[in-house]
Structure 1
C-alpha cells in the first residue's frame, strides 16, 4: 500500500469532474475524461494494493495470514435483515481496482430480452435503452477489458465485431461433459473471459496459476487498476483512502458542489468540481446518497422518487457436483471455459438461467495440504483419494426487481467514523426458487447421463448470492419511479451521475461487469459533453 506519510490527499483545485470509486466504472470514466483533457480527481475509500501478487496469493492460501484484500472490521460494518442473510463483505473489495481485484473475469453481454422484460413477459420493467443502443458500447468495453472469446454461441445477442482475443480452449472436464450434453441435445459454447489468451494491453497471457479468485499473480486477468493507471498517465489525480461521507449541494438543490471526505490522518476535506460521478457500487452508492440528506432532500440526495436503495437484485447460485470414476483434472483451470445459454430466453419460470460447466469443482491439493492435520504418506494418500475425481456444474439464476429487497441505513450501527452502516434487506422469492429448481433439474440430467455419483447440491433452500449488486439506483424515463435517466444522470441534480450496476432496471442472469463497462463508456461521452459546455 501507499506510504500514508508521503501521500498528498488534499483536494484538487478547479476540478472538472470528481469520481467517487476506482473500480471498473470509475476507472473507465476517469481514463476517458482525463484523456479528453478534463481535470479529473478520483476519490477511493480503500487503499492501493501495490504489493507483489504472489505474496497476496500466499496470504490467501497459508493459514492465519489473513485476507489479501483487507475487508472486514469497523470500517466495513454492515447489517442484514429480511428472510435471507446477505454476507456483504464476503466478496466486495474496497481499494483501487475495486472488486475486479479478485473477480472471476467472465464477461457476457445481456440478452435482448433483458432490456425488454416487461414488454416481452409482462414482468419487471423495461430499460429506457435497448440492446441495439448499447451494442456499440459493448464492443468498446470488450476492447477496453481485453476479452477473449469466440462467436460460437447460437443464443447470444447479435454482434458486429469479433472479440479482441481468441477464446480459451475447452478444458479437460468440458470434454467430459460434451458427450453427455450432445446426447441430451444441450448446446455447449465458449465463455468470454476478461483475461489474456495472448499478450494484450501490456499484460501477459494466462499461464495457468488457476487461482483467479482471489489473485491472478501473472496479471493476465483484467483489473480496473489498468484503467486507473491510464487515467493517471492522462493527468487524473487518484486519491486513495479518501472516504467520501456526504455530498453537498448548492442552495437551489439543483447541483452538487462538493464531496466531503476523510483521510487516514483524521482530516476532513471538501473536493469541489463541476460534475460528480458516483461509482462505488450498488450498496455504497446508496449509502452515500442517503448520508447526504438535507433540508431539500430529507429522504436522501437524488431520492425524490423514493427509490434510492429499492429493487436490490443479485444473481443466485445453483450447483451440483460429485465424483466420477475417471480423471477430471479439476482446479487445473481457475475459470470457466464452457457454458450454455440454451435455457436463458425461454425458461419457465421467466427468470433467466445461465448454466456453467465448472473447472474448479473439487478440493485444491495445495490448500488442502496447507490446512491438513496429517503429514507424510498419510497426507499423500488422502490427497490422492480426494483430488482429481470431482466434477460439477453451476448456474446463475435471475432475481427480478422487487421493492421489498432494498439497501438502507442502519442508524443503530455505525462504522469507525461514526456514520450509519448499510443495511441490506434481502430475501429469495418463490419464483426465483422455482427457477433454481429448474436449474438443478437440468444439472441432474447431465450428471445422471455422465454417470456422476452426486455428493452435493446447492438449490432453492441452500442458495447464496453471486455478489452482483444491482438495481438500487435504477434508470428510467419516469422520475417518479427511477433515480437516473437513460444517460445515467440523476433526475434531481443536473451534475450528478451514477455509474455501475446500481442503475440496472433488471439484472438478467449474466455476470454484470461487461455491461458496467459499456455503460461507463457511454456515460463518459455524456459527461464529456457537459464539461465542454
Structure 2
C-alpha cells in the first residue's frame, strides 16, 4: 500500500510488526523479505519517488580533514536511495576481512565470520540480478598475488525502479513517502513510537514491535546521535562509540604501466593473498587495471626513453606493434578503522526539521598508505619477474607528497559509525544488528560494518539485510 504523508496522516495505521526507516537497498530488501514472511511492515521514506531539491537539501553537511566529497552529492534522498548512482560492482567481503588482525589494526575485525553471511549470498545476488563472482585465483604464490573477480549488475539495478510496483502492490507493506523521522519516543530502553513529518508539516506516529534504521552510512549515525541525546539511556548505550570508526574506501589513480601483453579490454583486479597481507602487516587492497589512452601511453614511453633508454627502446617496439600496451592502474582499498574518524552533529547548522546537520571527520591513517604501497610493489614485482612490464607509480604513493586532492577520492562507500561488536565499548550494535541499550531498535546497511575489506559494499549490505530479516522473525 502507498501513502504520501504530504496528503495527511494515515487514517488508522494500527500496529506494525516492523517499522523500517529508509527505502534504499537495505530497507527495501529487508521490507520485501519480511513481507514474504507475512510480517506487517511500515516502510518510511523521507523522499518521494522522484528526487527533489527539497528532500536533497536535508543531506547537506560538512567534512573536516583530508579532501573528500560533498555530503549531499554522494547520497540520494528518495525512494531507492543511493542505488540511483550505483555502478553495479558486486563482490562479497573476503574471509580475512572478518578476522582479528591485532598486530596490524586491533579494530579491523568483525564479531561474526564470513560463514555467517555465506548462506545469504545467492539471495543477495538475486536481488541485484547477478551470479556470485568466481573465487580469487592465486597467480604468483611466491609473491602473494591473486586475481580477484567481481560480478556486475548491468545495467545497475535501480531499487526505486525495480521494486516500486511489488512494494506498492504488497498487502503487508505500507510505504509512507515524504516521511521524515523527527521524533523517537522511548521508555525503559524500548521505543514506543516514531514520529514522522512531511514537508508541509503533517505528522504521523508509527507504532511497531521493532524498528530498523536503514537510512545510510552517515544518516544512521546522525539520527541515532540526535535521538539518543534527547532520550539518554533509552535508545543507545552511553558507552557505545556512536558515530565513530567511520570509513570509506580510498579511490585513486596510482600510476600506469607499459606491458608486453595486450591491455585488457575489460577491467581486471589484483590484490594480495590473505597470507601476504598478514606477513606484510597490511589490510586489503584491490588494484584495477584499465586500458590507458593513446596519449597517456605515448607519454609513458617518452618518460621511459629519457630515464632508461634500453627499456624505452623495448617500449617503443611494443608501441610500434600496437598502442594497446599501456594500462592505467587505479586502487580501491581498505581504510583502517580509526576512532577519531567519525560522524558528529554540527553545533550550528540544522536541516529544515531542526535536526543538526552532519559533520564528517575523515583523515587517512598511516596504515592506509602502507597498505596501498605494499600491494602496488608486489604487483610490480610480478610484472618485472615475468618480464611483463614495469609499473610507474605516482610519487605520493611512495611517500613523496600528500594524497591528491583532485581524484575520485572515495567510493563513495559510506561505512561504519554504528559498527558491529560484541560489547558496547567497541561498537554500537551486536552481531544481530541490535543497538546496545535498546530492546527493539536495529540498524541495517553499511553503517554496521566493523571493517571494510576492499569489495564494494552493496552485496554485503544485502546479505546483512536478509540475515536481519531472519533474526527479526526468529
TM-score (norm 2): 0.79
**Structure with greater strand percent:** 2
Q: Tell me the residue number matched to 2:458.
A: 513
Residues 37/20 of structure 1: CA separation in 2 closer, same or farther (3 Å cut): same
Q: Tell me the residue number matched to 1:77.
A: 60
| Contact preservation (8 Å) 2:61, 2:70 | no
Q: Which moved more, 1:518-527 or 1:109-118?
A: 109-118
Q: Tell me the residue number matched to 1:239.
A: 176
Is 2:190 the counterpart of 1:255?
yes
Alpha-carbon separation, structure 2, partners of 1:185 and 1:313: 26
* Secondary structure in structure 2 of the residue aligned to 1:346: helix
Residues 73/190 of structure 1: CA separation in 2 closer, same or farther (3 Å cut): closer
| Alpha-carbon distance, 1:187 to partner | 4.9
| Contact preservation (8 Å) 1:338, 1:356 | yes
Q: Tell me the residue number matched to 1:374.
A: none
Is 2:284 the counterpart of 1:352?
yes
Alpha-carbon separation, structure 1, partners of 2:431 and 2:89: 26
Q: Tell me the residue number matched to 1:461.
A: 403
| Contact preservation (8 Å) 1:471, 1:504 | yes
Q: Which moved more, 1:511-520 or 1:220-229?
A: 220-229
Q: Structure 2, unaligned stretches of length 5 or more?
A: 296-322
* Secondary structure in structure 1 of the residue aligned to 2:425: coil
Alpha-carbon separation, structure 2, partners of 1:37 and 1:358: 47
Residues 131/70 of structure 1: CA separation in 2 closer, same or farther (3 Å cut): same
| Alpha-carbon distance, 1:492 to partner | 1.1
Residues 232/361 of structure 1: CA separation in 2 closer, same or farther (3 Å cut): farther
| Alpha-carbon distance, 1:28 to partner | 0.8
Given candidates 525, 528, 532, the residue that maps to 2:470 is 525
* Secondary structure in structure 1 of the residue aligned to 2:336: coil
Given candidates 122, 128, 133, the residue that maps to 1:139 is 122
Given candidates 151, 154, 166, the residue that maps to 1:192 is 151
Q: Tell me the residue number matched to 1:396.
A: 332
Per-residue CA distance 1:401-444 (angstroms, 9 max, x = gap): 11111101002112233321001011001111222333454566
| Alpha-carbon distance, 1:481 to partner | 2.5
Residues 456/302 of structure 1: CA separation in 2 closer, same or farther (3 Å cut): same
Q: Structure 1, unaligned stretches of length 5 or more?
A: 50-67, 156-177, 196-219, 364-386
Q: Tell me the residue number matched to 2:363.
A: 427
| Contact preservation (8 Å) 1:319, 1:458 | no
State the superposition RMSD in angstroms.
Answer: 3.8
| Contact preservation (8 Å) 1:290, 1:301 | no
Alpha-carbon separation, structure 2, partners of 1:133 and 1:325: 41
Alignment of structure 1 residues 373-412 onto 2, 5 Å? 391-412=327-348
Alpha-carbon separation, structure 2, partners of 1:437 and 1:318: 12
Alignment of structure 1 residues 96-175 onto 2, 5 Å? 96-118=79-101, 121=104, 123-151=106-134, 153-154=136-137
Is 2:10 the counterpart of 1:13?
no
* Secondary structure in structure 2 of the residue aligned to 1:16: strand
| Contact preservation (8 Å) 1:310, 1:404 | yes
| Contact preservation (8 Å) 1:341, 1:353 | yes
* Secondary structure in structure 2 of the residue aligned to 1:491: coil
Q: Tell me the residue number matched to 1:476.
A: 421
Alpha-carbon separation, structure 2, partners of 1:281 and 1:409: 16
| Contact preservation (8 Å) 1:149, 1:190 | no
Q: Which moved more, 1:130-139 or 1:119-128?
A: 119-128
Given candidates 263, 270, 273, the residue that maps to 1:340 is 270
Alpha-carbon separation, structure 1, partners of 2:37 and 2:341: 39
| Alpha-carbon distance, 1:356 to partner | 1.5
| Alpha-carbon distance, 1:88 to partner | 2.2
Q: Tell me the residue number matched to 1:375.
A: none
| Alpha-carbon distance, 1:72 to partner | 8.9
Q: Tell me the residue number matched to 1:287.
A: 222
Is 2:208 the counterpart of 1:273?
yes
| Alpha-carbon distance, 1:20 to partner | 0.8
Alpha-carbon separation, structure 1, partners of 2:396 and 2:73: 18
Q: Tell me the residue number matched to 2:442.
A: 497
| Contact preservation (8 Å) 1:71, 1:89 | no
Alpha-carbon separation, structure 2, partners of 1:3 and 1:360: 50
| Alpha-carbon distance, 1:111 to partner | 1.2
Residues 38/396 of structure 1: CA separation in 2 closer, same or farther (3 Å cut): same
Residues 110/390 of structure 1: CA separation in 2 closer, same or farther (3 Å cut): same
Alpha-carbon separation, structure 1, partners of 2:166 and 2:379: 43
TM-score (norm 1): 0.71
Per-residue CA distance 1:84-137 (angstroms, 9 max, x = gap): 445323322111111111111111111111111336856325322111122112
Given candidates 374, 379, 391, the residue that maps to 1:438 is 374
Alpha-carbon separation, structure 1, partners of 2:204 and 2:88: 35
